[in-house]
Amino acid sequence: MDRVLGIVEGKEKGPLVICVCALHGNEQVSIRAFERVCDAINKHQIPFKGKFVGLLGNIEAVKLNQRFIDADLNRVWEEEYIEYLKVKPKAEYTHEDREMLELKAAIAEHDSDDYDIKVIADLHATSSENGNFIVVPPGIADHAIIKALHLPVVVDLDQYLIGTLLGYVVNHGFISFAFEGGLIGSDQALNLHISGLWEILEAAGCITHNDHMNEDHYANQLMEISSELPKQVKVLHRHWVEPTDGFKMKPGFVNFERINKGQLLASDDAGDIYSPYDGMIFMPLYQDTGNDGFFVVEEVTSIVETE
Ligand SMILES: [Zn+2]
């Protein structure tokens, strides 16, 4: 398996759009989504400005179809930690230390100031239903590229998730965000990622609407799903989980489902866990690994008026 999934390069100058697929090894539909879009551009010779690159995230974890090997590859992108890796004995590197340094080098290979804008879309999927949303670093929730995706934007999740790829590359001049397409392995996640990639390429200025309207067969699906979801939300509460807690989410919760203060949400070895707020459930944990049991979020109104 190669780190580089594919490259489209136009003759004309323009934006750089890097699509990172399967940073979590079990979230693989993004790989097919990138390949479909890439193939369509080549096959139909769609006029293209700038460069579109697909990079594979955690290669070894993809082979094993698991989230990660030693450490979550989307929690290790801290400047201090990356500095420390320069002196850390190579023999003590975790698997993800090596994957991160390789991915970082692959991004750097394409990074240059020649581009109009630089974008990194980090494609993910969730272990719960309705996992369609965008995670942004501060200040870009109202960017045209984010708006073009129409999905709920979680404006402050970055404060809770330390060491994410998007948090790192935003400090290196990229417009960056995590794009959660839906349930792991589902057709819906594949379709939303395909449609989303077309929207990202258009909003970035690589292609025009006319160029892709016949290619994007899932635009209606994206609009339909997003019409039922909030536009922007912020975090009210996170339930942190240690592996030894015996945490178990009650079955059946979907993202953005309304919940009430005092509602039974989960249990662990210490007993039942109730919602401390009225709000919406977000990212309920339905897989074995992860420290975020669930979040409670509430809708916020956008700072910039939408048309
Ligand atoms: Zn993920």
For residue 128, the model assigns a pLDDT of: 81
Rounded CA-CA distance 30/184 in Å is 10
The rounded Å distance from CA 223 to ligand 1 centre is 22
CATH class of 232-300: mainly beta
Tell how strand 232-240 and strand 153-154 pair up: parallel
The rounded Å distance from CA 28 to ligand 1 centre is 10
> What is the distance between the terminal CA atoms of the chain, rounded to a whole angstrom?
44
The rounded Å distance from CA 13 to ligand 1 centre is 32
pTM for this entry: 0.91
Rounded CA-CA distance 254/275 in Å is 15
The rounded Å distance from CA 21 to ligand 1 centre is 9
Q: How many CA atoms lie within 13 A of 31 on its CB side?
A: 21
The rounded Å distance from CA 23 to ligand 1 centre is 6
The DSSP bridge partners found for residue 235 are 297
The rounded Å distance from CA 1 to ligand 1 centre is 19
CATH topology for 4-227?
Aminopeptidase (3.40.630)
Apex CA 233: angle with CA 227 and CA 237, to 5°?
135
For residue 307, the model assigns a pLDDT of: 41
The rounded Å distance from CA 74 to ligand 1 centre is 8
For residue 269, the model assigns a pLDDT of: 97
The DSSP bridge partners found for residue 135 are 154, 178
For residue 224, the model assigns a pLDDT of: 85
293: which 2 tokens? 């049991």
Roughly what angle, to the nearest 10 degrees, separates helices 29-43 and 187-204? 50
The rounded Å distance from CA 124 to ligand 1 centre is 4
The rounded Å distance from CA 282 to ligand 1 centre is 14
Q: What digits encode the pLDDT tens for the residues 123-160?
A: 999 888 788 999 999 889 999 999 999 999 999 998 89
CB atoms within 5 A of ion ligand 1 belong to: 24, 27, 124
Is there a shared CATH topology between the 4-227 domain and the 232-300 domain? no
Q: Which helix (H) or strand (E) holds 259?
A: strand 258-259
Rounded CA-CA distance 170/186 in Å is 29
Domains of the chain, by residue range, sit at 4-227, 232-300
Hunting for tokens 């045209």 — which residue is that?
A: 144
**Any alpha helices (H) in 86-237, and if so which ranges?**
95-110, 144-148, 165-169, 187-204, 209-212, 219-227
For residue 306, the model assigns a pLDDT of: 44
> Within the chain, which residues score under 50 in pLDDT?
305-307
Hunting for tokens 């420290």 — which residue is that?
A: 291
